[in-house]
Copies of this chain bind each other. A is one copy, B any other.
Amino acid sequence: MLSPSAALGTGFSRISVIGLGLIGSSLLLAIREAMPTVTLIGHDASPDVRETARRLKLADAITDTAGAAVADADLVILCVPVRAMADVAASIRDDLPPEAIISDVGSCKAEILASLTAALPHHRVIPAHPVAGTENSGPEAGFASLFTGRWCIITPPAEADPAAVARIADLWREVGALVETMDAAHHDLVLAVTSHLPHLIAYTIVGTASDLEDVTRSEVIKYSAGGFRDFTRIAASDPTMWRDVFLSNKDAVLEMLQRFSEDLSALQRAIRWNDGDALFNLFTRTRAIRRSIIEEGQDDPAPDFGRSHP
């Protein structure tokens, strides 16, 4: 059953965003555009980021402490690295209104759900994860349309207040996202393969290419259009964020990594033994997934991601 206020949009009148990187700043801009009457309060632990956020007018107020940001808020969204969530939650506990809903945007959910629930046992904690981003970081990288057409996964605890879940879902729909709900453990398994493993692989190959003796760094850069450059985009993502993701979602990442390594060994063997059919069969199979991703609107149909060819 929806609460009366939810019937009038999301029903939030004062939203606080803690952490003003790419996602936090994009979320503020997107809410401002979709729900102009909502009061927006922001905070970031870094004085430089706060100054930039004020200059960019990302919110109605940017506070110097997290506690000041959440006083009077009816929704607080934590947009900090996964392993910083627990400390931030503890730091706002005394200032948080009892009726406020707590959410976040972290990339792994089981650990966050546990730590936020432990830190704020008397509040409604409704974690969420918008599957969207770019390789850029910081408050200047944000833009209002980042979430348009992307999925946001909500991972409520079993005993969550359905009205609170519905309001969080409405908020994400308001900023253009598609919404799905699943349990935190399944989320972490799904994202291990669609996001965490790809990042780990990209970081690895860029590292491997940097460390060669017989191929210079300049050659790697010049001839990167052969495929390598695609990996460098992801490998330019925020180091703190991704360190935390891999440590927080360790079990699922190690499981996916093990499967990937087995599959890679099988291909390596096919190359060594000139098994062209095995290669051809895999390479044919993988084309279909690309088509589905484009058909479902999750990537640009233009060749080469729509990169400009001057």
- CB-CB < 8 A to A232: which residues of B? 286, 289-290, 293, 299
**Nearest-neighbor residue (CB-CB) of A246 within chain B:** B271
Q: Given A222-B151, A227-B202, A263 and B207 touching (CB < 8 A)?
A: yes
Interface flag for A214 (CB, 8 Å):
yes
Q: Given A230-B233, A236-B290, A256 and B219 touching (CB < 8 A)?
A: no
- CB-CB < 8 A to A272: which residues of B? 250, 254
- CB-CB < 8 A to A305: which residues of B? 230, 233, 304-307
Q: Contacting chain B: which of A6-14, A52-60, A275-283? A: A275-283
Interface string of A220-264 (1 = CB under 8 A from B): 111111111111111111011011101100100110110111011
B225 touches A131 (CB 8 A): yes
Give Cα A222–Cα B306 distance, bound, in whole angstroms: 20
As for how many copies of this chain the complex holds, the number is 2
Interface flag for A34 (CB, 8 Å):
no
Min CB distance A175 to B, Å, is 12
Listed in ascending order, the chain A residues whose CB lies under 8 Å from chain B are 107, 131-136, 141, 143, 145-146, 148-151, 153, 180, 186, 189-191, 193-212, 214-215, 217, 219-237, 239-240, 242-244, 246-247, 250, 253-254, 256-257, 259-261, 263-265, 267-268, 271-272, 274, 276, 279-280, 282-287, 289-293, 296, 298-300, 303-310
Q: Given A282-B207, A296-B221, A227 and B271 touching (CB < 8 A)?
A: no
B201 touches A264 (CB 8 A): yes
Q: Given A136-B303, A210-B286, A289-B209, A194 and B233 touching (CB < 8 A)?
A: no
- CB-CB < 8 A to A198: which residues of B? 205, 226-228, 230-231
Min CB distance A25 to B, Å, is 13
Give Cα A278–Cα B76 distance, bound, in whole angstroms: 33
Told that A131-B223, A224-B299 touch, could you supply 15 new A-B pairs with CB distance under 8 A?
Answer: A132-B225, A135-B304, A150-B225, A190-B219, A195-B228, A198-B231, A201-B205, A201-B264, A204-B264, A208-B263, A229-B299, A250-B272, A257-B268, A261-B264, A300-B308
- CB-CB < 8 A to A134: which residues of B? 303-304
Q: Given A189-B215, A285-B210, A299 and B307 touching (CB < 8 A)?
A: yes
A223 touches B296 (CB 8 A): no
B203 touches A282 (CB 8 A): yes
- CB-CB < 8 A to A223: which residues of B? 131, 151, 153, 190-191, 194-195
The 7 closest A-B pairs by CB, nearest first: A195-B226, A239-B283, A198-B227, A134-B303, A236-B290, A305-B305, A235-B286
Q: Given A233-B230, A310-B149, A194 and B224 touching (CB < 8 A)?
A: yes
- CB-CB < 8 A to A189: which residues of B? 214-215
Min CB distance A267 to B, Å, is 6
Give Cα A291–Cα B72 distance, bound, in whole angstroms: 42
- CB-CB < 8 A to A153: which residues of B? 223
